[in-house]
Each structure stands twice: as C-alpha cells, then as structure tokens.
Structure 1
Amino acid sequence: MPVLTLLWAVPAVGALLVAALPARAPAVSRFVALGVALVTLVVAVGVAVDFDRTGDRYQELETHRWIPALGAGYRLGVDGIAVALILLTAVLVPVLLVAAWRDTDGRRMRVYLALFLATEALVMVSFTALDILLFYVVFEAMLIPMYFLIGTGGGPDRARAAVKFLLYNLLGGLVMLAAVIGLYVATARDLGAGTFDFPRVVTAVADGSLNLDPTVSKALFLGFMFAFAVKAPMWPLHTWLPGAATEATPAVAVLMMAVVDKVGTFAMLRFCLQLFPDAARFFTPAILVLTVIGIIYGALVAVAQTDMMRLIAYTSISHFGFIILGIFALTSQGQAGSTLYMVNHGISTAALMLVAGFLVSRRGSKTIGDYGGVARSAPKLAGVFLIAGLATLSLPGLAPFISEFLVLIGTFTRYPVAAVCAAIALILAAVYVLWLYQRVMTGPTNPQTARIRDLGGRELLVVTPLVVLLIGLGVYPKPILDVVNPAVGHTLSTIEQHDPAPAVAENEGAR
C-alpha cells in the first residue's frame, strides 16, 4: 500500500472536498476537515508503527516516473527524522482545527479550513520527498496557502505581514532554484545524465563520482542554506516572523512556527549536510556564530516586548537558533537533540500560543500591561499557561528540557565556546517567561480581567493533549530518540563526521 502517498493525498483531497462544501454550512466544513485530519493522523501513526529503526535507512519507498527528460521522479521515503516530524504535523493539525473552530465567519470558514489541509498535504510531501526537484516544488508551493492563511484573519496589519512573509520566502526560493539548477548541471556532467534522485546524488558525492569543484560546492551550499535559513527562520533573516506570527490568528501562527518552519531545519539536516559535506564543514563556524547571536538576540528582544504574541514569536527565534546549533555541531547528541527539539518546540509553542490566543480573545488586547490577576478568575487557563511557559524555558521534567540539554552537550564536545554563550539564553528565558506569567496571571485584578471566563470544553480539548505530550515526552523521550538516533548516525556517517573522543587528563591516563 502506498502509505506515503496516502499521507499527503488524504489532506489534499480533503482540502478540495471542504472547499467544495456549501458556504451556508460552516459546521459541516468544520467536522469534515477535522475528520480528514484525524484520518491523516491514523495514516501517520501507521507509518510510525511500520518503521523499523534497525532496518534500511529509507523505508516505505515509492518510485514512479515523473519528468524522465529531466531525471526527476516521484520518489518518496522516510527515515527516523522524517517519521518524528510527520507525527508532529499529524498530531498538531487536528488540534489546530479545533482551536480555529470560531476563527472566521461561516462563508469564509470552508476556505480557511481547506487551506489548513492543503498546507498539511504539502508539508507531508516535503518530509517524504527523495527527489530534489519534487522537494523544491512543494517547498515553494506551501507559501501559497500560508500567504492566504496569514492574510485571512487576525490583526489589522495582516495583509502587510502576509506580503512580507511571501516576499522573503520567495527570495529564498529563487536563490535555491539557482542552486538546484547548478546541482543538476553538475550531475549531468559527472554522472552521464542529469538527475534529481537525492539518494543517488548523495552516494555519488560520497564515493567521489560527483566531483564538485570546492568553489561550486560552497556556492550551491549557500543557495540551499539561504532558502532554508529564511524558512527556519535564522537570524538575521528572521524579520518576517514576528509580524506574521502577531498578525495571524493563533492557530495559523502555530501552523507556521510549529510545522511549516520545521521544513527549513529538516532540510538543513537532510540536504545541506549530505549534498555538500565539505562546504558544510567550511561554513560551520560562521553558521554557529549566527545561531548564537540569534539565540541571545531572540531572548533579549522577548524580554523587552509588551505584546504577548510578539514575545512568543521572539522566543521561537531563539529556539530555532538552538535547533540549528545542534545540527551544525555535527555530533550525534547535537543532531538527535535538534530533531527532538523540533518536535518539542512544536508542542510547547502550540500550547503557549493557543492558550495566549484564548486569553486575548476574551480580553480583546495583546498588551501585557492590560492584564493582571487572571489566575483568580480563570485558574485552569492560568495553570496551562504556566505549564506551557515553563516548557518554553526548558524546565526539567517537561519535554523541551532534554532536547535543549542534548543540543548543548553535543555542541560543547566540539565547540565549547558556542555552547557556553548559547546557555546565556537559559537565564533570559526564565526572565521573560516568569515576568510574563507574573504580569498577566498574578497581582491585582482589574475590572476587565475579573470577568475573564475559564477554559471551556472545546478549549480543554485543545490544550489537554499538548500538556500530556509536554509531560510525557519530558519524562520519557526514549520512543522518539530510538527512532531518530539511527537516522542521525547515517547522516554523520555520510558526511564522515564522528563524535569527538572524550578528553582525558594526562595524569588520569597514567593511572
């Protein structure tokens, strides 16, 4: 059974079905979209259950002719890293659909929900594509539904935020297109015929049959890396994110930061490192400098924010810095931590952004100073807000802690200065999270916050699975790490990198 095709075809067909429903029946659109997302979740769980962590590197392979004249094919397959991110996407989308239940009016609801499902379909293809051209096509195509989602509802400046999002990412895509063409020309020269077959190109790079000139290799690496750094987003290419996350509805902001942006970091790990290993090693010091700056910058700017949603957006810039830091530490602990961080960041950001969105919808303001004493009138909301905030600062026992710990340990073994500098953000995270909670949830209650109602049934349905995952993966992350570690080992082996040997003091070695 072509399960990977089902993985994207179910939400794609569902998007068309929801878009075709009568505009006068928004309730039907909601339930149909949720049903489609749940079916996709079942398929994703099936992929995860069937995945053999001791088996072949890429599994559930599907290969069909697509554009033979260009050497492009419909090639799908998954490794452990892709499986983890597929599960994250499949879990979050139904949660977000329930959270977005009342985001817009009846006539626009079906289009709004259809765009959610279309985005999910394209993200699923991006995580499973083993053809470079196919990946590029869906990498660009997912900008279309996201542009309309950002511009559909939310803040008054949403149209400008949507355009900025689109322009930044289109620029990144155009640079990547030039690099894709350059790589194709190189394969045509050295392999007898041009190809976009990713495993074949990686093998050719590893055995030397694809002999890229060092200057060309560096230029192609930068082309791919630029596009992924915009998507991620990585400092200083991040400036589109705060506006888009603040002006979009909370559900769309989570879809963007927790799901779509992960395509950028996933692609760094898969394409940048494995297609251009020498260039990746050459640029690693510069990338580490940028990521450390981004980690500290995002945390510092978050501390200074007065807008609740903008604060959360800047925390994500800091967290994406940690993810990229772990990728380019080029150690097994760093890359396993980065992959786990992608999953845990998605869950913690979803919890914090959605519960903040519920709060803003009640008060009608994103300004932190307009709140105070909410815990008295809405204790459940305050409790979930606290758990999500503590997860954001990586409190031990909650899911993000172990991933951030692995990234820092993996980085320290090879780049200790970078790890120490990045650890400064841990202190800053405690400052902005605890300050936010104190200003919003504690202190004197004003008349507006005294009337804020607590979480209702639908809202509890949204946040409960997220809280369970934050606690569950914080206590027992082994299932994900067991799936991810073999894929990380394959990646490091492909680029001929090994974990540094532990340093032993001379006098201890003499004993």
Structure 2
Amino acid sequence: MIDISASVMQFLLAFVVLGPLVGAAAALLPAPPGLRGSSPDQAVLRHGVTVTGTILLAAVVLAIGFDHDHPSKMQATTDISWIPALDVRIHLGVDGISLPLLVLTALLTFLCALYSYFNMPAGPSPKAFVALLLVLESGTLATFAVLDLLLFFLAFEIVLIPMYFLIARWGGEARQPAAWKFILYTLLGSVVMLLGLLLIGLEAGTFDMVALATDNGRGLSTSVQVIAVLAIGLGLAVKTPMWPLHTWLPDAHTAAPTVGSVLLAGVLLKMGTYGFVRIVLPVAPDGMKTFAPYLAAFAVVGIIYGSLACLALARSGAGGDLKRLIAYSSVGHMGFVLLGIATMTPTGVNGALFANIAHGLITGLLFFLVGAVKDRYGTADLDTLAGATGAALYGRAPRLGGLLAFAAVASLGLPGLAGFWGEMLALFGAFDPADGLSRPAFLTFMAIGAFGTLLTAAYLLVVVRRVCMGARPQEAHDEQWAEPLADVRAYEFAAWTPLVALTVIAGLWPAVLLGLTDPAVQQLLAGGKS
C-alpha cells in the first residue's frame, strides 16, 4: 500500500465516478483539428479509449492507496448535504466489498473502448456510441460508490438508457424488441425497488446506507423489513437476473453488440447482487431471513434451468445461438451468487462476491471470443459453425480456439481458475447456513447446486467440441470454410490478455480478493459491531 492522503483519495473516487460524464459531454463536441487523425470518427473513438484509460488508471491508484489493513472501513469518503429536507446526501465511499467492483467496471469499460476503436459495431455515429459508453460507465461506477439509498437508485437507473440505445441502435437482428424488453423489465423492477427504499428511509429517518447498516435493522419493525425486502429484492432480482425474472437477458445478449454483451454480463448484472449485499443483508436482516429460503430455492432452480437451457441450445439440430447460450449460462452462474447471499453467512457471502468478480472476468472474455467467432464466420449459430466440417478453430485459428477452450473450462469451475472459488464457497455456505435458517433445506439446495456444476461442465464441453474441433482446413470441402481464417489479432490480444491473466491470478491466489471482502462482510453482517 502506498500512503496517499485522504483528500487525494476523495478526489480520486469523485473523479472515477464523475470523470466519464465529463468525457461523455466532451465526446459530443467537435474534435480539435489537430486531434482528428484520419477522420472525426477515429478521433472520438480515440477519445473514448483515453477517457476510459484515465478512469482505469485512477481506479488502480485508488486501489493501491486503499488501506488494505482495514478493508471494512469506508475510505475515500465524501459526505455533502444535497436535499436537506429529506436528509439526502452526496455520500461516496469504498470498502473491501465495492473496491473490486469499481476496478472491474473500469477495466471492462476500457477494454470495450479499446476493442471498439479497432472494431466499431455497425450503426449510427461513433460520437453517440462513445458518449453512451461513458454515461454507462459513470452510472455503474456510481452504483458501487454511493452510500445513500436515493443516490443508489438514481445511479441504478442511469445505466438503463445508454444500454437501451446500445442494443437498439448498434445491435443485431431483433434488436428493437430486445431493447424494449430490457428496459421495460428493468424499469418495472426499479419502480418496485424505489418503494422499498423509500419505506426504509422514511421509517428509519435516514437514507444513509452506512448508518442503516450500523443500526442493523434495529430501528425497523419486522413487518417493515419484510415488505422492504420483498420490494427491493424484486427490483434487484430483475437486474441480477434471478429465475423466473430472467427472460429479458437472453434476448438482450443475443441482440447486443459484442461490447454491449461484455458490459451487460460483466458489470450490469453485478449491480443487482451488490444491492443485496450492500442494502438488503445489513439493513433488513430479519426480513432477509424470512425470504432467504425462497431466494435460495429460486437460485438453485436458476442454476439447473440455465444449465438445461444451455444443453438444449448446444445439442445438434437445435439451431442454438452461441451468444444466447452464454447468456443462459449467466442465469446459472448468478444463481450461485444468489445462493451464497441467501445463506447469510460470511462464507456464503464471500463466495457470492468472489463469484461476482469471476463471472465478470470469465463471461466478459467469453462474449469477446464469441463476438470474434461471429465476425470471422458471419454467424454465431452453433449448427452452422459445427456443420459438415465443423468450425475447427483448433486447426484454423488455434490461438482463438485455445482461448475459447480456456474460457469454457474457467466458466465450468476448473480448480486453479477464478470460477472455482466463488461457487465452492457458496456451496460451503449452504452446508452450514446462518442461525434460524433450515439446515435440511439448505443441504438440499447445496446438493442441487452441486449437480448444476456437472450440467455446466457438460454443456461447455459440448460447445468446445462442436466449435473448436472438426476437420482441418486442408480437409474441408466447402470453399467458404477452407479459406484462411484470421487468428487472434493484436488489438484482440490487448483486450483479452488482462482478463485471462486475472482469471488465472484470482484462481491461484484467491486470498487477494478474499482478504478485501472478508473483513467487510464480517462487519456488514455484524451490523458494524466489529
């Protein structure tokens, strides 16, 4: 840790949250003549890379200056009165729970901007694309940094509009219905969530999330907590997404451009599970205890459902879309996150937070790779890719095939890679849930979840076999498939290498992440009485 003054840390966090908004406004202005390069479009795309790179650098410096000896303490805090009549404050801060999500968001957005500079999706002006990407980044970062319930809601909502336009204007086939389904589902969930947030704030007399977590529900009656958890939980479950509120996700992923899918899976889904950990668990523990068995039940159903849907899409003749399959896999993976949260134990919640980060890294990489496959073959349809000769990535583009196989085995939870630890800890948490929860029920959930890991391995290995294996190029009889295929390009290598490296590091050295989250989780579950 480098000793950085509190004022500098405050500035860094404020800059990380607000910097992308300033960059979005600047993206819409005409580029100065000396910075246009070969075209204005190139200039604005370079602007997006510069801004997101600067934000990533600030986030890394913030992480370096973070006091790792006290990760449960809110750091880099800013607390300014905003609406005195409602006691709403501009309250920012980070701890061991939110810091990894901030860095993950900054990293994925930078990699998406870098990827788009070389491979801009077809659609309207790049100016609007870059501006929307930066607004999306600002809203997501704010969600993980704000410590006021109403500010959390505002940040939660900011991301909806840019993601809607990214899907509707730069997406593929059926993008308009998918975009409408995405925004209607999430807006409806947000309205219900707002009612729960207002109920907590008005009943407790404050919207400050730190004060509410410290009080640990003592200022709220059990009935208020139950109603609040139901309302807030529904809103968060839509964004997570939890089965059966997941139906917007496959359509959105299938229609979204590559970078839209990466950010949707890698960052936006984490906002829902983060809300459960940051708000629901510490603020309304009695209400959460009431709904925890139901949350766990929906979670394990989602694990099995997502895996079976993927198996159905992966089988020969099903006409399954590879992007759609990865989207359904997210339903299963996020089920493990929800199961960990539902245990209400430090082990389970730490597993959920670890799985959050692992899913962002691995599924972000998977969507990058699937986008690259679609660019090369002109389709993501599995039956077309695995036709008479097979896509044969091992033979035609061995590095791309190897990376796809790596991402698949990381996603199925191979020990030594990031996907293993979160799911294992979530299952361990279910083995011994919090006091007051039915252990037989959670043992059943654990067994079902463990069976889901076998199904996950099954469909991912089928995908690898169908896409990576097949006839070698010289054996192919179809001229279209026999043509040379570009392997991993330099810009793709630059965009994907950090995700591969972090997946390996998190798998081999999980203490780096768990050392941040565990003290913060212990304090959060104890109501700040550590």
TM category (shorter chain) comes to over 0.9
Is it true that 1:257 corresponds to 2:257 in the alignment?
no
Tell me, in whole angstroms, the C-alpha distance in 2 between the residues paired with 1:127 and 1:34.
22
Q: Which residue in the other structure is 2:201 paired with?
A: 184
Structure 2, gaps ≥5 residues long = 1-7, 314-319, 434-441
* CA distance in structure 2 between the partners assigned to 1:17 and 1:290 by the alignment: 44
Q: Is 1:217 aligned with 2:225?
A: yes
| Aligned position for 1:110 | 127
More displaced stretch, 85-94 vs 212-221: 212-221
1:285 alignment partner in structure 2: 293
- Residues 260-315 of structure 1: CA deviation (Å, up to 9, x unaligned): 11010000011111111000011111111100000110011011111111000000
- State the partner residue of 2:382: 368
* Contact 1:25–1:106 (CA under 8 A) maintained in structure 2: no
**Aligned position for 1:440:** 467
CA contact (8 A) 1:323 1:342 kept: yes
- Given residue 342 of structure 1, which amino acid in structure 2 is its aligned partner? N
Which residue of structure 2 aligns with residue 142 of structure 1? 159
Q: Contact between 2:142 and 2:152, CA under 8 Å: does it hold in 1?
A: yes
The residue number in structure 2 matching 1:8 is 17
Shift of 1:449: 3.3
Alignment correspondent of 2:208? 197
Equivalent position SS for 1:20 = coil
Which of 40, 43, 58 pairs up with 1:43?
58
CA contact (8 A) 2:123 2:169 kept: no
User: Is structure 2 residue 337 aligned with structure 1 residue 328?
Assistant: no
Match of 1:431 in 2: 458
Task: Name the residue aligned to 1:119.
Answer: 136
- Cα distance change of structure 1 residues 205 and 398 upon mapping to structure 2, 3 Å threshold: closer
**C-alpha deviations, 1:178-214, integer Å up to 9, x for none?**
1222223313xxxxxx4211222333445x3x2x332
2:252 match: 244
Q: Give the equivalent residue in structure 2 for 1:346.
A: 360
Structure 2 counterpart of 1:477, one-letter code:
P
Contact 1:130 1:198 in 2 (8 A): yes
1:103–1:153 CA contact under 8 A, matched in 2: no
Q: Which one of 60, 74, 91 corresponds to residue 58 of structure 1?
A: 74
* Cα separation, 1, equivalents of 2:99 and 2:93: 10
- Give the aligned partner of residue 502 of structure 1: none
Once the 2 structures are TM-superposed, how far is the Cα of residue 19 of structure 1 from its aligned partner?
Answer: 2.2
Alignment of 1:403 onto 2:422: yes
For residues 29-79 of structure 1, the C-alpha deviation after alignment (integer angstroms, 9 at most, x for no partner) is 111111111111111112211222333521111011111111101001111
SS at match of 2:415: coil
Match of 1:133 in 2: 150
**SS of alignment partner, residue 125 of structure 2:** helix
Q: Deviation at 1:420?
A: 1.0
Distance 2:124 2:448 in 1: 51
For residues 398 and 40 of structure 1, the distance between their equivalents in structure 2, rounded to whole angstroms, comes to 27
Scaled by the length of structure 1, the TM-score of the pair is 0.92
Cross-structure match for 1:86? 102
Q: Deviation per CA, 1:83-119, whole angstroms, max 9, x where unpaired?
A: 0111111111111112223233586112111111111
CA distance in 1, matches of 2:479, 2:384: 11
Aligned pair 1:420/2:420, yes or no? Answer: no
Q: Is the 8 A contact 1:99 1:354 kept in 2?
A: no
Whether the aligned pair in 1 keeps the contact of 2:214 and 2:529 (CA below 8 Å) is no
Q: How far, CA to CA, are the matches of 1:161 and 1:330 in structure 2?
A: 34
Letter of the structure 2 residue corresponding to residue 42 of structure 1: L
1:468 aligned residue: 501
In the aligned structure 1, how far is the partner of 2:526 from the partner of 2:223?
A: 23
- Would you say the 8 A contact 1:57–1:487 is kept in 2? yes
Measured after TM superposition, the shift of residue 171 of structure 1 is: 0.4
Shifted more, 312-321 versus 400-409: the winner is 400-409
Match of 2:5 in 1: none
TM-score norm. by structure 2 comes to 0.89
Mapped contact 2:172–2:255 kept (Cα < 8 A): yes
CA distance in 2, matches of 1:368, 1:460: 24
CA distance in 2, matches of 1:265, 1:365: 32
The answer to which of 102-111 and 380-389 deviates more is 102-111
Note the C-alpha offset of 1:124.
Answer: 0.9
3-state SS of the aligned residue for 1:304? helix
Change in CA separation of 1:323 and 1:447 when aligned onto 2, cut-off 3 Å: farther
| SS in structure 2 at match of 1:73 | strand
Residue 496 of structure 1: CA displacement?
A: 9.3
What SS class does the counterpart of residue 57 from structure 2 fall into? helix
Aligned length: 488
Alignment check: 8 A CA contact 1:54 1:486 kept: no
Q: Which residue of 2 aligns with 1:503?
A: none
Could you say if the C-alpha distance between residues 261 and 349 of structure 1 is closer, same or farther in structure 2, counting changes exceeding 3 Å?
same
Task: Tell me the equivalent position of 1:99.
Answer: 115
Question: CA RMSD for the aligned pairs?
Answer: 1.7
Measured in 1, the distance between the counterparts of 2:517 and 2:269 equals 19
Runs of 4+ in 1 over 6 A off after TM superposition: none
> In terms of mean alpha carbon deviation, does 375-384 or 55-64 score higher?
55-64
Aligned partner of 2:512 among 470, 479, 495: 479
Contact 2:182 2:249 in 1 (8 A): yes
Which secondary structure does the structure 2 equivalent of 1:400 belong to?
helix
What is the distance in 2 between the residues matched to 1:221 and 1:308?
35
Out of 166, 178, 196, the position equivalent to 2:183 is 166
CA deviation vs aligned residue, 1:380-435 (integer Å, no higher than 9, x gap): 11011110111111111211112211111122223222111101111111111111
Contact 1:412 1:420 in 2 (8 A): no
Contact 2:122–2:170 (CA<8 Å) still a contact in 1?
Answer: no
Inter-partner Cα distance in structure 1 for 2:508 and 2:121: 38
**Aligned partner of 1:293: which letter?**
V
Change (3 A) 1:213 1:493: closer
Amino acid at match of 2:369: V
Query: What is the distance in 2 between the residues matched to 1:105 and 1:286?
Result: 43
Shift of residue 140 of structure 1? 1.2
* Deviation of the 1:231 alpha carbon: 0.5
